[in-house]
Chains A and B, each alone.
Chain A
Amino acid sequence: MSEHIVPVRIYFAIFAALLVGTALTVVAAFFDFPWRLNTVVALTIATVKATLVVLYFMHVRYSTRLVWVIIASALFWMAILFALTLSDYFTRGWLSTQTG
């Protein structure tokens, strides 16, 4: 398996997409989205931008399966960190309302 060289036009396309994403996220911040969706919109744009950087600037799309496993493990442990901690903090109010 020899090294894959990403063509320059892909770098330009990703670069343009990242700048558009930045402009979008700034514009979106000034709109009042229903159901307090502003954070969801901001995080969605940030995640898309980060994914583009990882896949193309960091060449992960063309990397070995082992690199994919390593990244997946990072995301998996991040999910544990957030899920377990937040399930604690966000459910504390439930108890206090029951006991008064």
Chain B
Amino acid sequence: MTTHATTQDAHGHPALQHHFENMEQQREAGTLGMWVFLVTEIMFFGGMFLAYTLYRNQYPAAFASASNHLDITLGAVNTAVLIVSSFTMALAVYFTQTGKLRPQVLCLGLTLVLGLTFLGIKAVEYHDKYEDHLIPGRLIPWNPFNPGVQEEGQPVDHHKLHLLSGKTVKHPIDATVKNVEMFYWIYFAMTGMHALHMIIGAGLLMYLLIFSLRGRFDPEYHSPVEVIGLYWHFVDIVWIFLFPLLYLLGRHYLHG
């Protein structure tokens, strides 16, 4: 609540919509609306995290085996890439709030480049899974789901699945290739939906970048930067949970 309308409020900022009292009310309404949208997103991803929990509980050895086949280095690098992009996004909001145009453009550009880097690394990972016949389903052209399984005593082949034996896992019988396929259904559903959100986020960042270059955003009016920032951070948070749950579960079995 403002008790004194500022000079600018009296004349009206060009971005102020007629149904808002002032810029501050408009900004808070926008932020609130974005949070309501993010709640629906939380519930959307929550359903997939629930499916993950149920099937991991049902097939623990298959999930650990399949998880150990994911590339932990690429996963960790991508986690770092997303954290840096969240940081540059936060800085972009800061520089918009403080009215520094050049750092604002620079940070938005960096965030976009880092987001695209993430998607590029993700594409490399997907392609590796394609080559190893690990994309679930029978309809994948030339490479339907049919992974090779490492035999006991054979030289280590990283393109084959290493099914865990009874020594470390309670129910060795569930580590069949069929149940490994369930892990990959969930892996592709979750990382695929996350990647789709990243693609949408990259599109939104391009929009921000274009209007930022035209000097559209200033300390009075920066809701688009703030609100798209919230979305970007949310997508980062989803990955913060996906990375340990998909890439790191069961990693210790290989070294115990």
Is the CB–CB distance between B43 and A53 below 8 Å? Answer: no
Q: Which residues of A27-71 have CB atoms within 8 Å of chain B's CB atoms?
A: 29-33, 38-39, 42-43, 45-46, 49-50, 53-54, 56-59, 63-64, 66-67, 70-71
Q: Does A8 contact B (CB under 8 A)?
A: yes
- The answer, yes or no, to whether A77 is at the interface (CB within 8 Å) is yes
- The reply to whether B248 and A22 contact each other, CB–CB distance below 8 Å, is no
A5-B94, A46-B241, A49-B240 known; A57 and B233 CB under 8 Å? yes
Is the beta-carbon distance between B46 and A81 smaller than 8 angstroms? yes
Closest-by-CB residue of B relative to A49 is B240
Contact yes or no, B43 A50, CB < 8 A: no
Distance between A93 CB and nearest chain B CB, rounded to angstroms: 11
B residues lining the A interface (CB < 8 Å): 1, 24, 27-28, 31-32, 35-36, 38-39, 42-43, 46-47, 50, 53-54, 57, 72, 76, 79-80, 83-84, 86-87, 89-91, 94, 97-98, 226, 229-230, 233-234, 236-237, 240-241, 243-245, 248-249, 251-252, 255-256
A89 within 8 A of B: yes
Give bound CA distance, A73 to B46, whole Å. 13
A contact residues around B36 at 8 Å (CB): 70
A-B contact count (CB 8 A): 127
The 8 Å CB contact of B249, one of A5, A19, A38, A74, is A38
Give the shortest distance, in Å, between A52 (CB) and chain B (any CB): 10
With both chains docked as a complex, state the minimum distance between the C-beta of B84 and any C-beta of chain A, in angstroms.
Answer: 8
Interface centre among A2, A22, A71 (most CB of B within 10 A): A22
* A interface, CB within 8 angstroms of B: 1-3, 5-6, 8, 11, 14-15, 18-19, 22, 25-26, 29-33, 38-39, 42-43, 45-46, 49-50, 53-54, 56-59, 63-64, 66-67, 70-71, 73-74, 77-78, 81-82, 85-86, 89-90
> What distance in Å separates the Cβ of B15 from its nearest Cβ neighbour in chain A?
15
Query: Per a CB cutoff under 8 Å, which of B42, B50, B240, B256 touches A85?
Result: B50
Q: What's the Cα separation between A73 and B43 when bound, in Å?
A: 11
Q: Which residues from chain B contact A46 at a C-beta distance below 8 Å?
A: 240-241, 243-245
Residue numbers in A under 8 Å from B54 (CB-CB): 85-86, 89
User: Min CB distance, A82 to chain B, in Å?
Assistant: 6
Given contacts A15-B87, A43-B241, list 4 more A-B pairs with CB under 8 A. Answer: A26-B72, A30-B255, A70-B32, A70-B35
Q: Do A73 and B39 touch (CB < 8 A)?
A: yes
Contacts of A33 in B (CB 8 A): 252
Q: Which residue of A lies closest to B230 (CB)?
A: A58
* Docked pose: A94 CA to B83 CA in angstroms: 43
The winner among B38, B97, B252, B255 for most chain A CB atoms within 10 A is B252
Name, among A42, A66, A90, the residue most crowded by chain B CB atoms within 10 Å (CB to CB): A42
With a cutoff of 8 Å between Cβ atoms, the chain A residues found around residue B89 in the complex are: 57
In the complex the two chains form, is B233's CB within 8 Å of A58's CB?
yes
Residue in contact with A42 in the complex, picked from B42, B79, B248, B256, CB distance below 8 Å: B248
